[in-house]
Each structure stands twice: as C-alpha cells, then as structure tokens.
Amino acid sequence: MAKAHEPARIAELRAMLTRANRAYYVDADPIMSDTEFDRLLVELAELEARHPDLADPASPTVRVGGEPIEGFVTRHHAVPMMSIDNTYNEGEVRAWVERVSRVLKGKPEPDRFVCDPKVDGVAVSLRYEKGELACALTRGDGTSGDDVTHAARTVRAIPLRLDAPGGQVPDVLEVRGELFIPLSQFARINRERAEAGEAPLMNPRNATAGTIKMLDPSVAADRKLGFVAHGRGEMDDGFADSFTEFMGKIRAMGVAVSPMASAARDADGVLEAIEKFNADRHDLDYLTDGMVVRVNRFEQQKLLGYTSKSPRWAIAYKYAAERAQTVLLGVEHQVGKTGKITPRATMEPVLLAGTTVRHATLHNYGQVAQKDIRIGDTVEIEKAGEIIPYVLGVVASARSKDSKKIVPPATCPACKGVVEVEPAEAQDDPRLETTRRCVNPECPAQVREKLVWFVGRRQMDIDGLGEKTIDLIRQSGTIPLDHFADIFLLHEHEGALKELESLGEKSVRVMLEGIEQAKDRGMARVLAGLGIRHVGESTAKALARVFPSVDALIEAPVWQLMPTALNSMSQAERLRLTGTAEKLQDPPDTGLGALTAPVVHAYLHSDAARETFDRLRAVGVDLTSKEYIDPAHRESLASADNPFAGRTFVMTGSLETFERGSLKDILEGLGAKVSGSVSKNTNVVIAGEKAGSKLDKARELGVEVWDEARLLSELPPEHRPG
C-alpha cells in the first residue's frame, strides 16, 4: 500500500541517483559504490511502480531498458555528421597546421588548436530540445542515421535532462560523441558469455555497434555502455563561440567530456600533445586510436570551411596500428553466402590494442602461399584500423621444424562439393590464387549466410528475423529453415517458435508480421536478396526497371541483359548475339556488362534458380517489378521536356515534402540516376534546408542547384504530394 511520504522519497532518490551518475561519468569523482547505487535504484523502481501518476521519462529507472522497439526509423541530421581526414606522421601534421595558419593569418593564439582523444567507438548525435533528450541518431551516411534513442536512454553517461546552471537551457542543442563499451565491461560480458557456452564478442567497437542496433534496449542497459562528447551539431545562436567554451558548457549541464583535451598554439604544441596522449592512453578503460586536432574558434572554423566530405579545420592523427607475435595453431576454412572459401587463423591468445585476439584473417590462399604461412609458425599480427586482426607474415627465424603447410581444401569443407579456383593460372602457381569457391548452391554453409543476407534491411527487410533468430530456429531441429521459401512458411510453426528460448509471443508476432509484409517487396528486393553474383541492390533495381517480372527476365536472351555493352562491341559480335549488326538506339541500362551478364544469365537458367523462384511464387512472394518502365513510357521519359531522364541527381539537406527514399524512387522512375556524392558527372543537386558540403561542392563545380520549390515545379503532377 502506498504511503504519504513516498512521493517525497521518489523525488529524493531521483535526485541522489542523478547526482551519482554525474559524479561518476562527468566529474570522475564517485559519491557511492555500485552496490549502493543498485540498491537505491531498486527502491526507486518499487516506489514508482506504486505511483504511476509520478512517472518521469528522465527518471534513472528508465535506464534499465524498457519495451523492445519493432524496427528502426531513419531520420535526417539537422547538420551533417562529416568524417575527418586522417594523418599518420609528423610531416602531415605540420603541413596541415601550415595550411590552416596561412588562411587564418595573424599571430598564433595560445588556444588556436585543441587536441582531443579519438575514442574508438560508434558516433552518435544526441538532440536535446528544451533540455530534454529528444532523439539519438547514428552517423549513418552522414546526412541521415538510424534512431537509436531506445538504446541511448539506457546509457548512464548520457543525461536524459540537461542540468543547466540557473535553469536556462537551449531550445535546441545537439551533442555529437562516441558510444563505447568500457574494457572492464567488455571483459565481464565475455566472461558471462563463456560461462553460458556462448561465443565471445570479438572487439568492443563492433560489439557497441551491434548493441545499439538491437531492438531490445535491455541489452544495451546490461552492457553498460559509456559515452563521451566530442563535437556539436545544431545549437542555439550565441550558445558558444569556441570548442572549449562549448565543451565547458555541456559539461556543466551534465554531459561527459574527455578530461584529456589540451590546447596548443602551433605544430610543436600539437605534436607534443599527440606524443603525451599516446603514452597515457593505454591506461584508459576504453579504446582510442588517435587524437583529433581542431581549430578552436567557430568563427575560424567557418572561415576554413569544408571539402566535399571533411572539414578543413580538423584532422585525426592516427597512431600506428599495434602489432604482436603469437603462434598459429590451426586454420578454419569458412564458406560465405556466395560460396567463397576463406582461411581464418586460430592462434594462441595474445593481447593486441586492448583486446585478447584468438583469430585473424589470412585473406586468401594465394597470400598464404606467397607468405609461406604454416601451422606452428610464429606469426606477426596487426589490427587494421585497430579493429580487424590480420596476419602480416611469419617470423622466419622462429620457424619450428614441425610446422605444417596449410593445404587449401580440394572440396567444400561444408558440403564436400566441387570447388572452383580463380584465376585458372593458380592451378600451376598457387601464389596467384585470389578466390576459391564452392559451386554447390545447396551447400548448407551458403544456405545459412544467404538466409541472413536475404532478410536484411536493404534486401527483404524482415523485422524480427535476424542472424541470431535464424540460427536459433535452424538449431532447434524442429522447424525447417533451409530455403528462402521456408521463411514464408514460419507462420505454420507459430506455436513451436514461441517455445524457443529468447523468443517470446511479442517477438514472434513482430517477426510473422514482418514476413507477411515482405511478400510484397517485389522483384528488385528479391533479386538483391538472393545473393546472385554480380546482382546487388542497384543492379537489381536497374533490372526491375527493364523487365516487368522475374519470368520476363528469365525469358530474355543474354544480350538483352547487357544492351548498353552491346553498342561497344564489333558489328560481327553484335550480329552473332542479336542477329543484327545495327546498334541499339538509347538502350536501357541494366547494370550488367559483357562479363557479368553471362554469369547472371547462366544462374537464371539453372535448376537451382528455377526451383527457388517456383518455391517463392508458391508461398505468395510477389515476383513482379514495382519499378518497371514500359518501353513506350521510357521513350516519353527520354523526350526533351523531361528534365530527369538520363541525368544524375544528388540530394543534400533536409527536405520538407519528401523522405529521401521515396524521392529517390520517384526520380529513378522518371529515368534519373541518383548518386550519393557530387562530382563532375552530377547534373543537378537538390538542396534542402541546412544543405552542407555537397552544396558547396556543387557551386565549386558549377553544377545546377534546385531548391525544393524548383523540384516540385519540375515533377509531373502525379508525383507531387497532395
């Protein structure tokens, strides 16, 4: 039964726990133990359960997780999240400082530059409105990212409500920073996974990326992610005039910032800061791979401007990748979704760049032969970008007489099927080998990888059915999932699905609804999802614009799959293929050429393809094109009064009338090509609000620029909203 004093206790506990979070994550001066914090958090949760009328979205209890979301939403960044150019040596740093100084002129100021640790995590943008956390977005493509607010709200280092001195908070404040799994938590997570018989997470950065992309926020809560701010997005005018002022103000509001940032006046000062941090960084509880050097004052940043992809006022100095020596114990031969077989090294565990490494890539069997890598050798390994370990080579002086040569598999290690080796010359010289591939389309290893690819967001986009769920179902032994078509029969096993560990009623409902929706995705998504060699997303869309259905695509002779390539052939070759030596007039682009079209054509006429399409059709999957442009319409699109056909468009900034994805579909349906970057081949840039570097690049190259009003006036009436 609720008691009269409980509302006051709720307020007291919320204040205490909020202060404790700030003391730990912002001030680095804890005021209570973890045990005490957890005890008070449990007490608060119990009191809040008795007083639902006192619910507060900024309460410390919301950080324990909450309900899973049903899928991700992509949102635009108000200010683009650009990448920063990398440098790797003293000379490059000095050259950059000199370029900046020439533009800024005047005497060097003591705080002209700020050197800030580069945390090796996942970049996010936190948007606060009226002091409340409104949303958190991943970097994405720089102009838009996935909304991961559900995960960000579990991170104790991220304030849910800004604690502004005097109670004054900005109307809008965007804080950019890095999410990461602390190394101590990473070690704990892997200990618990080992005890549960689960495979360990490979490295903190990838684990962080995977954590925030999980639909269930309780996973992020359990992994206790950290956060540190490193920049700004949109903010109120006059909020701050420099990076140091900005960081000081957000720290005062409760946002975690690095205590290791330092100012410098010139290149010597910058290099001194870089050297000092390199000596100190390995004592931190998170991974770092460099130091970001930026011009401090925002006015000077504006003067320096941007290139097409990066600010001119900042660089990232990257420390040399760490290397270590260990012993190669064995080699696994892994089979991917296209049948490609790659060697993976298993080694004696070794600490490298803050993580324990047991596996590394050997790239391909040609490199194994070139480097003469053998089982039992002492090898040197490195992390590419401090993320992916790979074997650099052999320590020849330490070679044991018992070392054994690595023998590439003569048959597929998963199905014992036929293996093809590319190029053909590698049969005589193994050092030339680039690819070893299983050609059996029913290979079980390929089946698993293809299923995972098929359900992905850019393919069939099936909510609730990801890699782990596919493995869970396949390992159950009671629910068939060995073919793409089996996915669309999972509703027949609803009861059995609900009985699987970690799959509850809601998860199963979301998955089955996603499967039903996926039936109507159409031919382009299906083709992109099947893992056909040379057919990715853009080629699948191009084929769908030319052929009305999968049946029409299969019936087409090979030359119809490569009409643009046909015109570059000799008359004799065109005559052999088409029966006429004449060139085609304005042939549609299918995305395939003279080398790739025969491969795709051969697959389409294989027994495996025929069975796949027949089974998908039988379970209700739509194999007709939603992008098809009939020849008569294509001819009209090519008319002089169509400003879209045959032209390349780029979008930048925020558009009020359209979502980017839907506008891209409209433009492509009108015969345009939509690109993600501005170049000399770009015809038109569509610029919305807060357009960034792409607009600058367009003006620099003299590319035509349309605002949203011009776009609407050029679109046919049927494509205008309302």
Which pLDDT belongs to residue 205? 83
For 659, residues 6+ apart whose C-beta sits below 8 A from its C-beta are: none
2-11, 151-160, 631-640, range with the lowest pLDDT: 631-640
Does residue 98 carry a pLDDT above 50? yes
Distinct helix (H) and strand (E) counts, the chain: 27, 24
The confidence band for 533, taking pLDDT boundaries of 50, 70 and 90, is confident
Per CATH, domain 6-64 is 1.10.287.610: yes
Residue 672 corresponds to which tokens in the numbers above? 């345009």
Establish whether domains 444-518 and 524-628 are of one fold.
yes
Class of residue 426 by CB neighbours under 10 A (exposed 0-12, middle 13-18, buried 19+): buried
Does residue 441 carry a pLDDT above 70? no
Which pLDDT belongs to residue 385? 45
3-state helix/strand/coil string of 129-173: ECCEEEEEEECCCCCEEEECHHHHCCCCCCCCECCCHHHCCCCEE
* pLDDT tens per residue across span 539-594: 898 899 889 999 999 999 998 898 888 887 888 888 888 888 888 877 777 888 88
**The dihedral formed by the CA atoms of 670, 671, 672 and 674, expressed in degrees to the nearest 10:** 90
Does residue 336 carry a pLDDT above 60? yes
Alpha helices in 344-466 (DSSP H): 365-371, 444-454
634-719 CATH: 3.40.50.10190
Does residue 215 carry a pLDDT above 80? no
Does residue 66 carry a pLDDT above 60? no
**Residue with more model confidence, 63 or 326:** 326
Q: Which amino acid is at 87?
A: T
Of 206-210, 502-506, 667-671, which has the strongest mean pLDDT? 206-210
**Residue with more model confidence, 502 or 685:** 685
Distance CA 418, CA 110 (A): 68
**Residue with more model confidence, 656 or 274:** 274
Neighbouring C-beta atoms of residue 515, cutoff 10 Å: 21
- Looking at domain 444-518, its CATH architecture is Orthogonal Bundle (1.10)
Q: CATH fold of 524-628, please?
A: DNA polymerase; domain 1 (1.10.150)
Neighbouring C-beta atoms of residue 68, cutoff 10 Å: 17
Nearest-10 crossing angle of helices 90-104, 267-280 = 140
Q: 4: which DSSP letter?
A: T
**Residue with more model confidence, 275 or 282:** 275
Sign of torsion over alpha carbons 44, 46, 51, 56: positive
680 among known catalytic residues: no
Which pLDDT belongs to residue 386? 45
Q: CATH fold of 323-420, please?
A: OB fold (Dihydrolipoamide Acetyltransferase, E2P) (2.40.50)
343-347, 515-519, 565-569, range with the lowest pLDDT: 565-569
- Residue that the structure tokens 């720089």 belong to: 142
Q: Which of 3, 105, 118, 450 is catalytic?
A: 118
Does residue 527 carry a pLDDT above 80? yes
Cα 94 → chain centroid? 33
Distance CA 217, CA 231 (A): 25
**The dihedral formed by the CA atoms of 450, 452, 457 and 459, expressed in degrees to the nearest 10:** 10
Neighbouring C-beta atoms of residue 395, cutoff 10 Å: 14
Distance CA 123, CA 203 (A): 16
Q: What share of the chain has pLDDT > 70, as a percent?
A: 93
**Residue with more model confidence, 347 or 389:** 347
The confidence band for 222, taking pLDDT boundaries of 50, 70 and 90, is confident
Domain boundaries 86-318, CATH class: alpha beta
Which pLDDT belongs to residue 268? 94
**Residue with more model confidence, 721 or 411:** 411
Does residue 40 carry a pLDDT above 50? yes
CA angle 602, 603, 605 (to 5 degrees): 70
Residue 46 phi/psi, 5-degree rounding, is -65, -40
Distance CA 246, CA 76 (A): 23
Query: Phi/psi class of residue 710: alpha, beta or left (left: φ > 0; alpha: ψ in -120 to 50)?
Result: alpha
Mean pLDDT of 658-686: 82
CA-to-CA dists, residue 118 to 81, 284, 501, angstroms: 15, 12, 39
Mean pLDDT of 122-138: 93
252-266, 384-398, 492-506, range with the lowest pLDDT: 384-398
Class of residue 60 by CB neighbours under 10 A (exposed 0-12, middle 13-18, buried 19+): buried
- Are 44 and 14 within 8 A, CB to CB? yes
The mean of the pLDDT values for the chain is: 85
Distance CA 556, CA 577 (A): 12
Mean pLDDT of 506-518: 91
Domain boundaries, the chain: 6-64, 86-318, 323-420, 444-518, 524-628, 634-719
Residue 97 corresponds to which tokens in the numbers above? 């400082």
